[in-house]
C-alpha cells in the first residue's frame, strides 16, 4: 500500500524557518518525481514545488523561489521542504504527493494527509 506521511509542521513566527518531511512507503520513491502542494485555510490547492529522482531538476512556484527548497533522500524514501523567510500567506496545509509519470509534467496519483503550517506572531 502506498503511503505518504508528512511531519515537521507547526507554529512559526514571520521570518522564521521550518523543514517539512514526507516519508514514503509501499513503493520505490527513488523512481518517482515528487511534489509539495499546499492549501491555505478555506482556499483551493496551490502547487509549491517538484523534484525529480536525482535532484537534478527542481521546479517551484514564483512566490517561494529563493525561500523554499525541495530536496530528497531517496535512500531513506524521504522528501523535504525547507521553508525560510516564512510569511503569513504561507500558512496552510502542506501535502506531499507522488507524480505519476517518471519523466516530469504529471498528475498526482497519491497524496499524504497533509501537515499544518501556521505563520503568525
Partner 1 sequence: EIVMTQSPATLSVSPGERGTLSCRASQNVNSDLAWYQQIPGQAPRLLIYGASTRATGIPARFSGSGSGTEFSLTINSLQSEDFAVYYCQQYKDWPYSFGQGTKLEIK
Binding mask 69-98 for partner 1 (x = CB under 8 A): --------------------------x---
Cα dist from 28 to 18, 49, 53, 72, whole Å? 26, 20, 11, 13
| Interface stretch with partner 1, choices 12-20, 22-30, 76-84, 108-116 (CB under 8 A) | 108-116
Number of residues that bind partner 1 (CB under 8 A): 21
Q: Which three cell numbers stand for residue 33?
A: 518525481
Q: Which three cell numbers stand for residue 81?
A: 521542504
- Binding site residues, partner 1, CB under 8 A: 35, 44-47, 50, 59, 61-62, 95, 100, 105-114
Amino acid at each position: 500500500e502506498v503511503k505518504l506521511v508528512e511531519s515537521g509542521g507547526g507554529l512559526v513566527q514571520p521570518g522564521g524557518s521550518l523543514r517539512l518531511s514526507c516519508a514514503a512507503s509501499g513503493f520505490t520513491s527513488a523512481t518517482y518525481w515528487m511534489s509539495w502542494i499546499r492549501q491555505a485555510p478555506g482556499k483551493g490547492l496551490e502547487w509549491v514545488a517538484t523534484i525529480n529522482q536525482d535532484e537534478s531538476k527542481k521546479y517551484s512556484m514564483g512566490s517561494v523561489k529563493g525561500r523554499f527548497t525541495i530536496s530528497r533522500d531517496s535512500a531513506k524514501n524521504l522528501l523535504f521542504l525547507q521553508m525560510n523567510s516564512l510569511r503569513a500567506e504561507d500558512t496552510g496545509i502542506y501535502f506531499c504527493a507522488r507524480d505519476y509519470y517518471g519523466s516530469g509534467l504529471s498528475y498526482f496519483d497519491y497524496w499524504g494527509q497533509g501537515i499544518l503550517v501556521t505563520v503568525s506572531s
